[in-house]
A and B are shown apart, each in its own frame.
Chain A
């Protein structure tokens, strides 16, 4: 009921002047100033509601069908990409860890092997030295024995000569002292008994 008179009031000057220039709007304002504050002017409601419905409705549809899915997909893609990159980073880190572990394992192996080789080498050297020492010792022993046999031979021969010398000497002494012939066998027996 209230809408219609307001509308009639509005259209009356508008017919004379289609495009409301400043003067016209002031006239309209003046008219309304008597009664209605523009935001509360019911004459403008149908137009405002219609155009709001059209513009907001299209805006809503556009956002719902086009803009929001697009932004959503951008964010989704980014989230996926970040997750993927993080996964890849984690995988690479695992690989790096594995490589480090393998390297350390290899290092430990190498160290063990080196120790083994060193031990082997030192054992070899020791046994070689031992063998050489034994050989030298054996050679020395042999020469010692040879020397001992020689000494023993010399000693025996020397002792044998001692007998002969003693018999000769005794025979000579007896001959000088007693004169005459000396029984060699008696002298030898005497010497032997004296020596025993």
Chain B
């Protein structure tokens, strides 16, 4: 059974690209369309890594990060934040000390796989 990864992004196409890439590398993928959706889908199951967008409706990535870190079972789960090359997102980077890594969109799927493997092992 593969390690499971949660991907949170309001853009369905990005979710799909990330999810397909990870699945083809043997990971199990849980998809969520915003922070709230992600929190609803985290029901205590083991998640090895979370990848989250920052700018999302309903609950943005930083709020999600804070909420998920407040849950005992996900306190140590590494989180990769996805961001874009915008001034707004750059400001936000400073606010998310809990994230393990940042990836700037657009990225090549292979790049992401390298980062993922680094954090959770192949």
Chain B binds chain A: no
